[in-house]
Structure 1
Amino acid sequence: MISAPDILPKQRPFSTLPVGRKLSLVVPVFNEEQAVPMFLDKMKPLVRELRDKIERVEVVFVDDGSADRTVAEIIERASDVLDIRIVKLSRNFRKDNALAAGLDHATGDAVIPMDVDLQDPPELIPQMVEAWLDGAKVVNAKRASRHNDSALKRSSSRAFYGAINLLSEFHVEPNVGDFRLLDRQVVDVLNAMPERVRFMKGMFAWVGFRQVTLEYERPERAAGETKWNLWKLWNFALDGITGASTLPLRAWTYFGSIVAVLALIMGFLLTIRTLVYGIDVPGYASLMVVVLFFGACNLIALGILGEYVGRLTVESKRRPIYVVEEVIELTAAEGSVDRQQSGLLGIGPA
């Protein structure tokens, strides 16, 4: 059993960082054989541009159970300017768990999670590094607009961020995805957090630290197809809201209390009316509306309670959040390939 540290990592003044700074890019991939070549081609000039600020750049690809040639494409197109680590998971564990695996395996002084499809523009990375060198612990990349999205996706996104910021005790920046720079101190705190059901956007917001936000226009996907559909986005939203706050549970307590008070008042009025005017038989339609309404309220309340009970069940099992089948090291300087059979468990602190 791995126990959580009693004290989270102490703040490390930036001036004490080594001169040869290292940047890690964490890139979860799932059936992205078409996007990998374009991504690596974009990275080569970027590494050269960063050489006056960053000594080494490593890319940590987390293969989340791909069934195509994604891993083979990475190995074949590895360059002589990038250190590449491929963390191959034993199956698909979902993106947030794959991202957690990448953060666990990243060794840089700063870490940038990003997508391989180039919708997270690599051209923004030098500005993020500049903000980090100026002292920011977290550099968020925020979409300036969502004009490429459908009206339904725009409206649902506004509703989600509005709901989660209304319910949670911390602010989740709207239109900021996983694409952001994290200082090593922040990464160490995230790696020490024990959640099995992970909503990374909420975790990024919860840790705090000094944050800077840069805006950018999100381009179209360079290759391949999105793995997100409406059902996955809905479940993602539920995980986010239930992981960020217990207020939905408390809200039903308030609702029940208000209904109980109204029922007492209504009962008192009906008693007075019966004593004064005699017994009257109310209409069937109004009775059915009331019964169906409160029946629906009970089912909704049970559903919300079930979401939290389900999270407790997952957490109580204490299963690893990911399993590593193999780690492949591609060192730029040596041009060598080192394969390690792993079987590592992403257990996290107990």
Structure 2
Amino acid sequence: MKTISLIVPVYNEEATIEVFLNETFVFYNNSINKSKYLLEIVFINDGSKDSTLSLLIENFSKYNNIHIVDFSRNFGKENALFAGLSYAKGDIVIPIDVDLQDPLIVISEMLTKYEEGFDVVLAKRIDRNSDSFLKRISANLFYDLYNSLVDVKLESNVGDFRLMDKQVVEEILKLKENQLFMKGLFNWVGFKTTIVEYTREERIAGSTKFNFLKLFKLALDGITSFSNFPLKLFLYFGLIIAVFSIVFGLKIIIEKIFFGISEHGYASLITAITFIGSIQLIGIGILGEYIGRIFLEVKQRPKFIVKKYYTK
């Protein structure tokens, strides 16, 4: 028999815990071959401030296959996912959100592909109508931009919800970086991969903990974690501006020698100065992002701190 580990990061999810567990056990009892697969659920309490932890502990006392990793504070979903991989004991690992926007029935399709010999099964959303218009547009822009800059591409509309063989998880856990972009790490290790498609549902309860700024930061982390092209981009900008400057300088010399130079207004000069100045500031900002990542990495702080681990 093999064990399936569901990795479930939670942050202030008191409204969803009971529903998630009820739906999960109904699904396991009705849709999974229990002679082939056992189930464990690893919750990572990412510093919740509501009654999430007490509800988890209450259910921990009722079920033998629930484990709880309780963080000392909020470390963020990426770190919580990594912690879940670290504590999972299963032969098959599946990260899933507690809001059940990713339907449990998709796991059956994933297991079918796994039994066909695939190490990784990605769950691809074919319908994101449950997301806001802005979120759909920004997600598409992110995937297009990311894949244009990074060598190891991300499959569009694939989140953290996926099936991974234990060997895949072990390879991910060998990666030492502290600033995590888990979608990129999942993809970077490779292995034999396939896709199942599904329609994303509405949240069962509660509200999302991600706002536009958090998603923007995650996107920025993803790009700077796996590509140095933004740094190279400003070398290209500099070369282009240098060529234009040489051409413009030659034009002024020719006008001066052969035609006499006419008096020009200062508007074009100010425009050129502000344009080049803005490019320089953007370049310094991008350079600062990379230096900031180096600064955080060299300190080698732990990715998370576990206050208590509940297991049986």
Query: Aligned residue for 1:26?
Result: 7
Query: Aligned residue for 1:340?
Result: none
Match of 1:64 among 14, 26, 46: 46
Residues of 2 paired with 1:264 and 1:97: CA distance? 50
Counterpart code for 1:297: I
1:310 aligned onto 2:292: yes
Q: 1:268-305 deviations in whole A, cap 9, x for unaligned?
A: 12111111122333211111111111111111111111
Matches within 5 A, 1:39-78: 39-48=20-29, 49-52=31-34, 54-78=36-60
Residues of 2 paired with 1:91 and 1:242: CA distance? 25
Q: Give ranges in structure 2 of 5+ residues lacking alignment.
A: none
Residues of 1 paired with 2:302 and 2:123: CA distance? 30
Query: Aligned residue for 1:118?
Result: 100
Matches within 5 A, 1:254-265: 254-265=236-247
Residues of 2 paired with 1:215 and 1:106: CA distance? 25
Residues of 1 paired with 2:53 and 2:116: CA distance? 36
Q: 1:52-104 deviations in whole A, cap 9, x for unaligned?
A: 46332110000000111112212323486651110001100000001000000
Matches within 5 A, 1:125-164: 125-164=107-146
Counterpart code for 1:260: A
What TM-score do you get using the length of structure 2 for normalisation?
A: 0.96
Residues of 1 paired with 2:276 and 2:218: CA distance? 28
Match of 1:178 among 160, 179, 183: 160
Residues of 2 paired with 1:79 and 1:126: CA distance? 28
| Contact 2:252–2:261 (Cα < 8 Å) also in 1 | no
Give the secondary structure class of the aligned counterpart of 2:230: helix
Residues of 1 paired with 2:306 and 2:218: CA distance? 23
Counterpart code for 2:98: V
The ranges of structure 1 where at least 4 consecutive aligned residues each deviate by more than 4 angstroms after the TM superposition are 78-82
Query: Aligned residue for 1:277?
Result: 259
Residues of 2 paired with 1:66 and 1:88: CA distance? 9
Matches within 5 A, 1:1-350: 20-48=1-29, 49-52=31-34, 54-78=36-60, 83-329=65-311, 331=312
Q: Offset at 1:128?
A: 0.8
Residues of 1 paired with 2:101 and 2:10: CA distance? 14
Give the secondary structure class of the aligned counterpart of 1:122: coil
Residues of 1 paired with 2:160 and 2:61: CA distance? 25
Give the secondary structure class of the aligned counterpart of 2:271: helix
| Contact 1:32–1:70 (Cα < 8 Å) also in 2 | yes
Fraction of identical pairs, as percent: 46
Count how many residue pairs are aligned between Structure 1 and Structure 2. Answer: 311
| Contact 2:45–2:69 (Cα < 8 Å) also in 1 | yes
| Contact 1:119–1:219 (Cα < 8 Å) also in 2 | yes
Residues of 1 paired with 2:72 and 2:306: CA distance? 6
Q: Offset at 1:243?
A: 0.9
| Contact 2:79–2:180 (Cα < 8 Å) also in 1 | yes
What TM-score do you get using the length of structure 1 for normalisation?
A: 0.86
Q: Offset at 1:124?
A: 1.0
Q: CA RMSD in A?
A: 1.4
Residues of 2 paired with 1:294 and 1:96: CA distance? 37
Give the secondary structure class of the aligned counterpart of 1:68: coil
The 1:79–1:179 alpha-carbon spacing in structure 2 relative to 1, beyond 3 Å, is farther
Q: 1:319-345 deviations in whole A, cap 9, x for unaligned?
A: 00101110011x4xxxxxxxxxxxxxx
Residues of 2 paired with 1:165 and 1:79: CA distance? 45
Q: 1:158-183 deviations in whole A, cap 9, x for unaligned?
A: 11100000000011011100000011
Residues of 2 paired with 1:179 and 1:77: CA distance? 23
Q: Offset at 1:147?
A: 1.8
Residues of 2 paired with 1:37 and 1:274: CA distance? 81
